[in-house]
Chains A and B, each alone.
Chain A
Amino acid sequence: MDGIAPLPLVDVPQADDALRAQIRVFLRERMSALASDTRPRSWLTFDPEFSRALGSRGWLGLTFPKEYGGGGRGAFARYVVAEELLAVGAPVGAHWIADRQSGPQILKHGTEVQKQRYVPRICRGEAYFCIGMSEPGSGSDLAGVRTRAVRTETGWKLNGQKVWTTNAPHCHFMIALVRTSGSPDDRHKGLSQMIVDLSLPGVVVRPILDLNGDAHLSEVFFEDVELSEDALLGAEGSGWEQVLGELAFERAGPERFYSTITLAESWLEWVRERASPSDAEISLIGKLVAHISTLRAMSLSVTALLVRGDSPAIEASLVKDLGTEFEQYVPDAIAALVAADPDLVVPAPLMRMLASVTQIAPSYSLRGGTREILRGVIARGLGLR
C-alpha cells in the first residue's frame, strides 16, 4: 500500500495495565453520585474538584517528566487511565485538554520558564487549557486564521476572535493559533502558537448553548490584549507545523471511540435486567464488542507509533474517522432496538441518555477535524491527488 503500512498489533504493558485496579476503586466511590444520563458528556463536563483529586493521586501528567511534577511514565500508562475514566463517563473536562495536548505541546516546544510555570500546575489538576483553532471564517480551512498578534515594546498585542472553543469560560489559558506575520493569503506561513491568559483585560468569553442546552462550547474575543514576550510558544512562524504535530495526539486516543460507551453500558445493563434478550439485542452486543476491540487495537497501535517518535498523522485520521463512525452507530442501533417494540417499557433515564447522545452525535465527526477533511488527509496518504 502506498504511504501507509498495516498497523502492527501491540499490547498494553502489564505494569501499565496494573493501574486499572486502583483507578476503578477510586471511580466506584466517585461515580455513584453522578446521574447516569450525564455520563456521556464525560470530557465536556467541567469539574475542577474531580481533576484535583486525580492530580493528587498522580494520575495527571502521567507521561510528563518527574522534574515538572509528572509521572515519568509511558504513553500506555496514560492510555489506561484515560480509558478507565472514559469508560465510566467521568467528568474529566477541566483537565482533559491540558493533560492530553497542551502539556505535551509546552514540554515539546516551550521554554524552560514556560515548562516550570505551567506543567506542574497541569499535573496537580489546577491549570486548565483550551484550544484556540477555529474562527468564524476559518473552520476546516484552518490556515485562514485572522486573529493576529503584533509585536510591541513589551511583547505582543492580540486582536481577533476564536469560536467553538471547548469550555473556555472555565479555562485559565488558551493555546491559540494566530497570525504573527503576513495575511490569510499566505496560508500556512506566518502562523504562531500563543499561550493566552484568559483573565487578561480585553479577553471576553461567551458561552454558546448547544442543541441539548449544554454550554460546553464558547466564543472568545480578543481586543488589544497585551501579551508578554513569552506568550509565544515555540518558534515564531512555526505554528502550523506545531499544530499538525499536536493533532495526532488529539485524533487517535480512546476518546475517539468511547464517546458513546456509557450509553452502550447503560443499555446493556437494562438488557441484562430483562429476563430474555432478543436475538437482535444479543447480536448488537456482539457487534459492539467486535468493533470496539478492533478500534482499540488500532488506537493502541497508533499510540505505539507515537511513542516511537513517528508522526502517524494519516493512521490517526483513519482511527478517528472509524472511531467516530462507530460512536455515531451506537445511538442509531440502540434507538432501532428500543423502538422495535412500541410496548417495551424502557426506563426514562436511559431514553433521556439516548435522546441527548443522538442529538449531539453529529459533533463527533466535526470536532478535531471533520470526516471530510480526515478522508482528504487519508486520500493524500494513500497516494491520491
Chain B
Amino acid sequence: MKNRLRVLRAERRWSQADLAGHLGVSRQTVNAVETGKYDPSLPLAFGFAKLFDMRIEEIFFPNGDEASGA
C-alpha cells in the first residue's frame, strides 16, 4: 500500500519523531509505514487520518492507484 505521509508530514514540517509522538507509536513504525514496508493497523490508519484531518483513502491507496487518493 502506498501513502502520502511523507508529503503531508513535510507540509507541516514535522519529523518522523513528531508524527510518532502524536500517534503514540515508535518512530521506526512511522518510517516503515511511510516507506511502504509496513501497512498500519486500522486504528493507526484512523489515527493518521484524524491527525491530518483527512479520510483514510486520501492518505493511503493501493499500489498503482496513487491518483485516486490525491
Pairing of A with B: no
